[in-house]
Amino acid sequence: MLFLLLLWPCEGVSAQAVGAGGFLRQDPDARTAALAGADTALADDSAALLVNPAALARLVKPDVAATHVVLFEDTSFDVVTAAAPTRRWGTFAAGYVSQTSGGFQGRAGPNDAPNSFSISQSAYLAGWAASPRLPWDRTDGAPRRLALGLTLKSVRETIDATSGSSTGLDAGALLRLRPGLDLGLKAENLLAPSPAFVGSGVRYERSLDLSPAYTRALGGDWTATAAVRWRRVELEGSEFSGGAELRYGRLLALRLGMRPSGLSTGVGLTVGNTSLDYAVLLGDLGLEHTVSLVQRFGQTEAELEQTIRRGISRLSRGEGARLAKAYLQKADDELRDGRDADARRDLDAASLLAPGSAEVASRVKEADQRWQADVRRQTLSRLTAQALQEEDQGNPLAARQYWRSVQELSPEDVQAREEIARIDSRLTSEDRERAATLRRAQEANDVALALAGAGTQLSRGELHAARELARRAQTRYPENPQLREFLAKTDEQLHSFVKSRLAEADAAQSRGDAAGAVAALESALRQDPDDEELARRTAAAQAVLRRNLSPHARQEAEQLYYQAVEEYLKGDYDTAGKLADKVLTLDPTYEAARTLQAKVAAARRYAP
């Protein structure tokens, strides 16, 4: 069909816009040209600055676009635009439009020799658009229904050596009536430029565009779009045009349009962030060719998800490192949106995909610190509010307890220190005794909770975790005898455990079992990670074992590890755990597989 249209003879007026300011009513890109200008509700790049500035609000990526149009002899039309969407302030855009015609001849007098001259029209553009929240808009991240935009322009027209300039303003609106159905409105020259050459200026004609567009999925990756446009130009009257687009995914688009001046058609190709579009208009002056190039930057969250899904199915070390970067970018977006839990999950995935990466480790640490700071800030805010509430209700002792909790979390908190001192200065002896009773009750409760948690860890054989819980409570209550007793017993068990594992390691080494020695030493180190001598001996044993591993075993272990990560990310924790066990059987020094085992165990514990 495209081939036939290119050869179809066509009669009618030129597609070239006429009248004052007509060059700014030219189709600014190949997609608009192919759809016969019916793009007011469909613009999807920075050329929206000229098509409908409101459409800028729906851009999700920064882009730069350039269009070149070959018109009649010695006449060309060029457009360059750029846009940058922001999360808070809407989308900002800028552009430059130029139409130049040469080969004209003129005489100063009837007997003078002719001189060649040219005529040029140009405009510098600045645009802005935003989507205000309407009462009926959804709040779950869905696109907002209304978008509004403005384009400020500074135009200049030149005939030979004489020129004139002026400024003007366009406005646009875009309304989503329902999913797939949009209505675009553009008012051009709302404030009309009026460049003057010698005498008074010629005011640009005002125009109004109204265009509905409907998009429907056809099945598979195919979608179809149909749009019509009604345009009224102040002195030229009204005209209707329409176009249709058939698109395969994001890759390929076929377009067809019809306007009073004739047929138009075109194709579009998108690879990654780069789009190349071509259109041809059939008019009485011949074929008018339009070529546009759009370069976008970055990835949307949906594209990142697609990249991750595609990559998970063929995980390897190289693919894992690439996917880790995608997860990091996704986590950055989630942190900016305040979705800390999602960001921590994606950073966790990145750490599995790129074990040992300093960048990933740094980002995980940064996210953990941010999360801990947020939790601490929220806790302090809640405790402060409770303390003030108790004071207002006339409960100074309860208020003092809350202020004490604030002070324990934040010793530098001046307000807590001053409030405790003020309350203490007003307490009677009876109040002081009640305060002491409350402190003892709180201490007993806190210690009981800490010992219960530590006891649970101890029953699981997690000596280090049990000791850390008890030590944390001891920093608050250093004289508590229950905590001292629990820590003494735990230290005794830990010493006995490490001693037995060291004996196992010695025995394994004496019989040449390097894997057994490493397993025993690593088991001891997990329970006593602060023992520097134990860490040094474990590292030396691991180095010996790694040297003894064959290249085939290392490669197989790596392949199994990434298979395990793939299953973990898909949510199949049983398979992931079995694969991680196989990795450690092949290579007991594979620390990333041990980390994965721990994550699998935690996921099984908390999975519904």
- The arithmetic mean of pLDDT across residues 443-462, rounded, is 85
303-322 pLDDT per residue, tens? 665 655 554 455 567 777 77
Q: Which secondary-structure segment (H or E) carries 70?
A: strand 63-70
Between CA 151 and CA 129 the distance in angstroms is 9
* Tens of pLDDT, residues 370-426: 877 888 888 888 889 988 888 888 888 788 888 888 887 788 888 888 888 888 887
Q: DSSP 3-state assignment of 72?
A: coil
pLDDT confidence band for 187 (50 / 70 / 90): very high
Instruction: Encode burial over 145-157: b for 16+ CB neighbours within 10 A, e otherwise.
Output: bbbbbbbebebbb
Provide mean pLDDT across the span 510-531: 83
| pLDDT digits 0-9 by tens, 132-151 | 887 777 655 567 889 999 99
Tell me the C-alpha distance between 105 and 391, whole Å: 91
pLDDT band at 11 (very low <50, low <70, confident <90, very high): very low
* Bigger pLDDT: 337 vs 168: 168
Task: Identify whether the C-beta of residue 477 lies closer than 8 Å to the C-beta of residue 445.
Answer: no
585 and 561 Cβ atoms separated by less than 8 Å: no
Q: Hey, is 420 helix, strand or coil?
A: helix
Classify residue 378 by burial, with Cβ atoms within 10 Å: 0-12, 13-18, 19+.
Answer: exposed
pLDDT of residue 138: 67
Terminal-residue alpha carbon distance, the chain: 56
Measured CA to CA in angstroms, residue 425 lies from 101, 396, 418 at distances of 90, 11, 11
DSSP state of 529: T
**Position with higher pLDDT, 550 vs 150:** 150
> How far apart (Å, rounded) are the C-alpha atoms in residues 537 and 528?
13
Per-residue pLDDT averaged across 73-97, rounded? 89
Higher pLDDT, 401 or 64: 64
Show me where the domains of the chain are located.
Answer: 2-106+113-298
What's the rounded Cα separation, in Å, for the pair 323 and 325? Answer: 5
Average pLDDT over residues 428-440: 78
Q: Number of C-alpha atoms within 13 angstroms, CB side, residue 555? A: 3
Residues 234 and 188: their CA atoms lie apart, in Å, by 10
**Whole-number percent of the chain with pLDDT over 70:** 88
For residues 357 and 352, what is the distance between their CA atoms, to the nearest angstrom?
Answer: 10
**Distance separating alpha carbons of residues 18 and 154, to the nearest angstrom:** 19
Could you tell me the two tokens for 269?
A: 């190709």
Residue 184: per-residue pLDDT: 94
What mean pLDDT value characterizes the chain? 83
What architecture is the 2-106+113-298 domain classified under in CATH?
Beta Barrel (2.40)
The highest-confidence range among 292-296, 312-316, 332-336, by mean pLDDT, is 292-296
Query: What pLDDT does 315 receive?
Result: 59
Question: 89-118 burial string, b = 16+ CB within 10 Å, else e?
Answer: ebbbbebebebbbeeeeeeeeeeeeeeeee
Cβ 587 vs Cβ 556: under 8 Å: no
The C-alpha angle with vertex 487 and arms to 526 and 444, in degrees rounded to 5, equals 125
Distance of alpha carbon 465 from alpha carbon 453, whole angstroms: 9
Task: Judge residue 381's burial from the number of C-beta atoms within 10 Å of its C-beta, 0-12 exposed, 13-18 middle, 19 or more buried.
Answer: exposed
Query: Does 223 have pLDDT greater than 50?
Result: yes
Q: Which amino acid is at 159?
A: I
pLDDT the model gives residue 281: 87
Averaged over 254-269, what is the pLDDT? 92
Instruction: Return d(Cα 47, Cα 29) in angstroms, integer.
Output: 7
Which of 24-28, 146-150, 296-300, 566-570 has the highest mean predicted lDDT (pLDDT)? 146-150
User: 3-state class of 434 per DSSP?
Assistant: helix
